[in-house]
């Protein structure tokens, strides 16, 4: 009889992180709990040698390099870790890869910090939402939402994972965001 | 960066069979699949210890999601006790320590070949469908690259033409399973060869569905509350199988999807396809008090 295999600490963390990411993406507007605060657990659950990553945080960059992922300029990256609080940040985000109609999966995943529950009120509709979801987000530049709408010319677009400590909210490209 | 730094500690066995890099790739692709409902995302599709075409796609998704607290149900054409379903379920619990169940209500992960259970799935459950052929356009366009371009252009004219020709030739759409459906108003997908009876269960559902084809290396998804509309003409309504008035010979339930059992005298007998739903009905008839969930169909009509 084989012994029941047990997950190690990394497997438990990666599994829990992805459960949160998948839950948040399939129900935009719902807040899920990450196993650890910050974007590092998201990076570790998703990234390896096959990935091209842009990160604007030096400590995080060092950990990302250790996964084998390549650090590249933002327009070439498939995963982008940065804040979206400034006008300069929006210029970088405007040039992210949004995939193509042939391969929508080439669109980048943007991982940004924000305060969930305060600030700009947003109304969300789209797949994963029964009627309408409302969320409030602070720490994101007011121009971001118009920019996101421009980038998300469905089925092209980017996924936005928003983390606030150990809380996670996700906006897939299929979600329509209206400022209220 | 040296190879030894990238290599993890030696382990006799990866938890959940798949190695961490295979899981990370599947996670990245599942994110994109959920973000663009119904669009086929290519993925690497690793080797697993069953032959391709026997549920390797679904198995890889389940192995990525599974954890010791998971409760897995595996069905094959509705049955929990078929060889394929039992083998996959036992494999899953052996490599992950997850519990096994036959009961739809208890399961957290439901891996299925070609059926969706009769009891409604809740928001905490994930349905993983095994897909033999993920390309709905294959019948009208054998070239994969051309078919991808047609999806990119939302060019589904030949799909419609095929349905129209079937109507002209046979008076009805001659598709039993894999009825093509428009997802989120943009991508036509095959819902895997589930019967027409089950396609409507995907429309605005509470649960997340992930469809994965291991041999064809394609993954796609239907998030909760997403439009899944079978392709139909305005004047010819979508018809599910004519099972509303059939009664299961073993459990006595009426109004659910049935398996046809040929009888010695040449007639047909019927038994309910969702085997554990039938077991619950037999248990209730024999004086037990099984917990039966809400069903999608009531008296043979979609509720």
Instruction: Report pLDDT digits (tens) over A97-147.
Output: 999 999 999 999 999 999 999 999 999 999 999 999 999 999 999 999 999
Q: pLDDT class for B11, splitting at 50, 70, 90?
A: confident
Q: pLDDT class for B303, splitting at 50, 70, 90?
A: confident
Question: Measured between CA atoms, how close is B95 to chain A, in angstroms?
Answer: 6
- Tell which of A32, A97, A104 to mutate to test the B interface (max B CBs under 10 Å): A104
Q: Please name the residue of chain A whose CA is at the shortest distance from the CA of residue B147.
A: A102
The pLDDT tens digits for B241-262 are 999 999 999 999 999 999 999 9
Question: Measured between CA atoms, how close is A155 to chain B, in angstroms?
Answer: 6
* B226:A15 CB<8 A: no
∠B67-B70-B75 over CA atoms, to 5°?
120
Close Cβ partners of B14 (under 8 Å, ≥ 6 residues apart): B20
Question: Measured between CA atoms, how close is A118 to chain B, in angstroms?
Answer: 25
Alpha carbons within 13 A on the beta-carbon side of B201: 28
The pLDDT tens digits for B82-111 are 999 999 999 999 999 999 999 999 999 999
Given a cut of 90, whether residue B189 has pLDDT beyond it is: yes
The token duo for B113 is 């070949």
Residues linked to residue B202 through DSSP beta bridges, in sequence order: none
Average pLDDT over residues B255-284: 96
Average pLDDT over residues B30-54: 96
In chain A, the percentage of residues whose pLDDT exceeds 90 is 97
In order of A18, A44, A143, the CA distances from A11 in angstroms are 11, 10, 38
pTM of the prediction?
Answer: 0.96
* B15:A172 CB<8 A: no
Mean model confidence pLDDT for chain A: 96
List of chain A residues whose C-beta atoms are within 8 Å of the C-beta of residue B6: 49, 67-68
Contact B243, B258 (CB under 8 A): yes
Nearest to B31 among A25, A67, A130 (CB): A25
Question: Measured between CA atoms, how close is A168 to chain B, in angstroms?
Answer: 14
Q: Is A26 on the interface with B (CB under 8 A)?
A: yes
In order of A96, B7, B17, B47, the CA distances from B12 in angstroms are 41, 14, 11, 18
Question: Measured between CA atoms, how close is A59 to chain B, in angstroms?
Answer: 17
The pLDDT tens digits for B56-83 are 999 999 999 999 999 999 999 999 999 9
Q: What is the pLDDT of residue B267?
A: 94
Average pLDDT over residues B254-277: 96
* B208:A22 CB<8 A: yes
Q: What is the pLDDT of residue A48?
A: 93
Q: Is A14 on the interface with B (CB under 8 A)?
A: yes
* A128:B6 CB<8 A: no
Given a cut of 80, whether residue B1 has pLDDT beyond it is: no
Given a cut of 90, whether residue A1 has pLDDT beyond it is: no
* B226:A128 CB<8 A: yes
* B42:A105 CB<8 A: yes
Q: Please name the residue of chain B whose CA is at the shortest distance from the CA of residue A174.
A: B35
Contact A78, A106 (CB under 8 A): yes
Q: Is A9 on the interface with B (CB under 8 A)?
A: no
Q: What is the pLDDT of residue A2?
A: 65
Contact B96, B67 (CB under 8 A): yes
Nearest to B6 among A5, A68, A173 (CB): A68
The pLDDT tens digits for B131-174 are 999 999 999 999 999 999 999 999 999 999 999 999 999 999 99
* A26:B39 CB<8 A: no
């Amino acid at each position: 009889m084989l012994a029941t295999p047990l997950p190690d600490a990394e497997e438990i963390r990666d599994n829990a992180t992805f459960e949160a990411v998948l839950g948040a993406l399939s129900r935009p507007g719902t807040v899920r709990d990450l196993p650890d605060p910050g974007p590092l657990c998201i990076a570790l659950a998703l990234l390896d040698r096959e990935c091209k990553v842009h990160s604007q945080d030096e400590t995080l960059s060092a950990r990302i390099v250790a996964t084998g992922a390549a650090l590249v300029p933002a327009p070439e990256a498939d995963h982008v870790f940065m804040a979206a609080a400034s006008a300069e940040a929006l210029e970088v985000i405007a040039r992210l890869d949004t995939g193509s109609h042939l391969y929508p999966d080439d669109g980048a995943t943007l991982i940004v910090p924000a305060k969930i529950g305060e600030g700009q009120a947003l109304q969300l509709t789209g797949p994963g939402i029964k009627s309408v979801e409302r969320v409030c987000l602070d720490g994101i530049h007011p121009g971001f939402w118009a920019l996101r709408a421009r980038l998300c010319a469905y089925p092209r677009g980017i996924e936005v994972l928003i983390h606030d400590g150990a809380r996670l909210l996700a906006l897939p490209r299929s979600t329509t965001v209206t400022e209220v | 960066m040296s190879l030894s730094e990238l290599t993890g500690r030696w382990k006799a066995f990866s938890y959940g069979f798949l190695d961490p890099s295979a899981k990370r790739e599947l996670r990245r692709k599942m994110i994109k699949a959920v973000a663009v409902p119904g669009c086929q995302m290519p993925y690497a599709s690793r080797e697993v210890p069953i032959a391709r075409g026997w549920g390797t796609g679904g198995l890889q998704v389940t192995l990525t999601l599974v954890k010791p607290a998971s409760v897995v149900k595996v069905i094959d054409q509705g049955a929990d006790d078929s060889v394929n379903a039992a083998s996959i379920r036992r494999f899953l619990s052996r490599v992950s320590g997850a519990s096994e169940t036959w009961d739809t209500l208890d399961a957290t992960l439901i891996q299925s070949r070609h059926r969706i259970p009769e009891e409604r799935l809740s928001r905490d459950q994930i349905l993983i469908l095994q897909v033999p052929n993920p390309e709905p356009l294959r019948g009208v366009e054998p070239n994969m690259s051309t078919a991808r371009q047609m999806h990119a252009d939302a060019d589904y004219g030949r799909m419609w033409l095929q349905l129209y020709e079937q109507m002209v030739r046979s008076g009805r759409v001659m598709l039993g399973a894999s009825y093509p459906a428009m997802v989120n108003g943009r991508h036509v997908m095959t819902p895997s060869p589930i019967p027409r009876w089950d396609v409507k269960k995907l429309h605005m559902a509470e649960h997340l569905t992930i469809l994965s084809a291991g041999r064809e290396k394609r993954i796609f998804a239907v998030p909760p509350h997403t439009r899944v509309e079978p392709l139909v003409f305005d004047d010819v309504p979508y018809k599910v199988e004519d099972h509303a008035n059939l009664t299961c010979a073993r459990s006595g339930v009426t109004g659910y999807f049935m398996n046809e059992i040929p009888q010695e005298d040449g007639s047909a007998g019927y038994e309910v396809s969702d085997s554990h739903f039938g077991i619950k009905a037999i248990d209730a008839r024999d004086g037990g008090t099984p917990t039966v969930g809400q069903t999608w169909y009531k008296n043979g009509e979609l509720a």
